[in-house]
Amino acid sequence: MPSRRSHTKSRKGCLQCKKRHVKCDEETPRCGLCKKRRLECTYPPSSEADSQHASTPQDMPDAFPGPEGEPHSDRMLEMKLFHHYVTETYITLCQGRLDAHHFQVVVPRIAVSHAFLLDSLLGLSALHLAYLNTHDNRSWLEIALKYQNRACSAFTRVLAEMTPENCAPAFLCSIFIMLCATAYPCVTQDKHTFEPLSHVLEIRQLIAGCAFLFEQLSGMEYRGDLQGWLKYKDGEVDQDGNPYHVQESQIKLRSAIMESLQRVQDKFTSLGGPNQTAYQNTWDILHEAIKRWPFGGPNGGIIAWPINISEDYIALLKSGDWVGRVLFLHYGVGLHLLSDKWFVRDWGRRLIETVLQSEEDIPPIWTETITWTKEAVEL
């Protein structure tokens, strides 16, 4: 008969470890063994004062008051966020080959094995709740920011030690972080802090990270659960062979953008000058993104436009160049094609409204174009 496993007695351990006759590491709010087994961890009253010093912010997030004002444990809060993601948020992310099964089953399955991805998923879920619950918007925003900050911190460490095993979860994490950055101004609706160019440049950096990890994934000849992403960039139909479902008004807007872009090209070509190459390259990228809508294509579509623009164009935009500004406004109208997505919504309208809020004199050559961009987003 095997001998009984020996253990070191602990007078300050949790009740669960005492019951199992195993050594407790006395970490709070949950000891290591209870965390590992995902058990409730309860300490006897006499240990409460002594155990307070052992807790660390990295173990679990602080308890948040729920939007209704009732205290929620971290466990209950995270369960609510996870449940909301797998029942509500996931369906808003589906697109073509990236179907419901991918976002509802595959992504959560990967996330529960990688804390940094799980945190970014919970942050996105909280942001979606902030969007849906406008009366409790601030509470959910605070929760979203906490999880996103924690995800970003861990994500940075993962990038420093990239391996084939964590490349796929890192790529998904980068997508969720980028979506949160895109969604934040839409959810907050704080016009005083919304600076379109600064925000686009921030998103540009995040999308660059997504693109880098995507290339890493492609280079590994990846054969795992993310095959849909690798096929999606070239596919223009979903898995059933059906095109995306779009509204007639969106199709008309796309045609109108294409026509306006053609007029813009004719005008900046007639102006001449040293910046023609920057104008034309930017126009080509935007024209291709609008043309491929509602499909992404190899360059990622409208939402990925910022990563494809050049530093020369960004410099023109920062200097107030009017051709650069007009092209930027057309990007805003292009984003309006995605206004049915909660993480985009009125992003395009707000971009155009903010860019044009100053009372600068519009050059006569662009007056009609500017008027059209405002009408296109119903300003």
Q: What is the CATH number of domain 15-54?
A: 4.10.240
Tell me the per-residue pLDDT of 315-330, one tens digit each, with 9 for 90 and over. Answer: 999 898 999 999 999 9
Average pLDDT, the chain: 79
128: nearest Cα among 95, 176, 191, 96: 176
Q: How confident is the model at residue 33 (pLDDT cuts 50, 70, 90)?
A: confident
Between residues 97 and 196, which one has the greater pLDDT? Answer: 196
Look at the block and give the residue holding tokens 């999606």.
Answer: 232
Tell me the per-residue pLDDT of 51-109, one tens digit each, with 9 for 90 and over. Answer: 333 333 333 344 455 555 444 578 899 999 999 999 999 999 887 667 788 899 999 99
* pLDDT at residue 377 in the model: 92
Give, in order, the Cα–Cα distances in Å from 247 to each of 294, 302, 335.
Answer: 11, 17, 15
* pLDDT at residue 9 in the model: 45
Phi first, then psi: give them for residue 77, nearest 5 degrees: -65, -50
Give the relative orientation of helices 311-318 and 322-336 as an angle to the nearest 10 degrees: 100
Q: Which amino acid is at 339?
A: S
* pLDDT at residue 237 in the model: 42
SS3 label, residue 19:
helix
Give, in order, the Cα–Cα distances in Å from 241 to each of 17, 97, 238.
Answer: 55, 10, 5
Greatest pairwise CA separation for the chain in angstroms? 95
Tell me the per-residue pLDDT of 211-228, one tens digit each, with 9 for 90 and over. Answer: 677 676 666 655 566 766
Q: How confident is the model at residue 27 (pLDDT cuts 50, 70, 90)?
A: confident
- Cα(333)–Cα(369) distance, integer angstroms: 12
Q: What is the DSSP letter of 275?
A: T
Q: How confident is the model at residue 3 (pLDDT cuts 50, 70, 90)?
A: very low
* pLDDT at residue 95 in the model: 74
Q: What is the DSSP letter of 95?
A: B
- Which part of the chain is CATH 4.10.240? 15-54
